[in-house]
Amino acid sequence: MTTLGESCQFFNGKAHEKDIDAEGQFVVVNSKFISTDGEVKKFTAKQMFPLVVNDIVMVMSDVPNGKALAKCYMIEENDKYSLNQRICAIRTTEFNIRFLYYQLNRHPYLLGFNNGENQTNLRKGDILDCPLWKPSLDVQEHIVKILDEALDHIEQAQFNIGQNINNTKELFQSKLNQIFSKKGNGWEENKLGDMSKIMYGYTSKVVEDGNVQYVRITDIQDGKVDWDTVPYVNISDKEKSKYKLTEGDIVFARTGATTGKSYLMVSPPNSVFASYLIRVQCDNQILEPSFLYLFFQSGIYWKNVLDGITGSAQGGFNATKLGNMNIHFPNDKNAQLHFVKVIEEFKIETDSIEQYYQSKMTSLEELKQSILIKAFSGQLINHQEPITA
């Protein structure tokens, strides 16, 4: 056994925030870059801390229970990267670099500094004290060969399962699009604004002792509202009657990264909606809210939203564009309810399939962690047979 400080060199990165340049030739190695395995990139023209082949870079700071803390990335090319602050670089001649990467990536010792409540900031001393197993280089190479083969199998299996999950999601979307593409007897087309009341929300400051809950754009997550976390505001009875949320109301985000995401109110508590939301109230003689909510999940709706977003910074989709959106729908409300039932039953089936594949994905991740634990407890030293997922 050794420690990182005894067997490796440690380097801190430098702040690049003022030197970000979309036209720059150097990739800024920051938390987002490492956490996405190099998929998300920012660039700079100033290589403030050059990284070289076989440097291991590691995230030193993350939110409580975050997935990026102590995550590592191996530098594969010279003169391409520059190290950002709160990211460290590790260099060594005493380890097979892939062996060190496998052992150091999300090391349990470093994850132990996360208390689940506050931002975790690993200090240099914490990292230097990280315990590492250092067998001979021959043993390291032997274990790396086993791990490379085993993890390649697991990654391929995870990729295949991911494809199956995407196919399941696409199957559900295809069913929705099929319904809202219908034309023929018993169906008609009309603008949403002619069949509903559309309005922006209420602007107010959040207070602890307010008299009504205040649904904001950030409270809509994955088609759900966690009412236990929705704050309160004080509002007059006159304004409350105007902005009060009722059964069957549909609210959706009109700006920012969540633009277009919607939520159907089912037995809402005493609440109003905030200004960065738009509320749609159907004419119940024409449209069932649950049928319209299905439309807001369809690809046809999302194409309209994406085509209508304005603004380069946050983007946005206004009430006028929403009101001008055309919808195909059955003119018989019983037919609308029939389609809602069909889609809900189909969603139960596809969710069941997706959960099955997600459980397989979880099992593969557990297998991966099990193999890594064995690798760094000496249990793979005499292993000869290939490991498959």
Q: Is the CA virtual torsion 281, 284, 285, 286 positive or negative?
A: positive
Dist CA 71 CA 101 (whole Å): 10
Over 71-101, what HEC string results?
CEEECCCCCCEEEECCEEEEECCCCCHHHHH
Residue 95 reports pLDDT greater than 90:
yes
308's tokens = 């209508």
Cβ-count burial of 373 within 10 angstroms (0-12 exposed, 13-18 middle, 19+ buried)? exposed
Its pTM stands at 0.69
- pLDDT tens-digit series, residues 49-75: 999 999 999 999 999 888 899 999 999
Asked if residues 334 and 211 have their Cβ atoms less than 8 Å apart, the reply is no
Across 181-195, 310-324, 340-354, 375-389, least confident range: 375-389
Flag whether pLDDT at 144 surpasses 50: yes
Topology of the domain covering 187-331: Adenine-n6-DNA-methyltransferase TaqI; Chain A, domain 2 (3.90.220)
Q: Are 371 and 364 in contact (CB under 8 A)?
A: no
For the residues 76-102, what does the mean pLDDT come to? 94
Kind of pairing between the strands at 187-191 and 81-83: unpaired
The pLDDT assigned to 362 comes to 93
Mean local confidence (pLDDT), 163-181 = 89
Pairing of strands 271-273, 212-215: parallel
Q: How far apart are the first and last CA of the chain?
A: 30
Six token digits for residue 26: 């150097």
The predicted pLDDT at position 320 comes to 87
Q: Are 130 and 3 in contact (CB under 8 A)?
A: yes
Instruction: Tell whether domain 2-134 is in CATH 3.60.70.12.
Output: no
Closest CA to 230 of 201, 272, 262: 272
Q: Can you tell me whether residue 349 is helix, strand or coil?
A: helix
pLDDT tens for residues 262-281?
Answer: 899 988 899 999 988 999 99
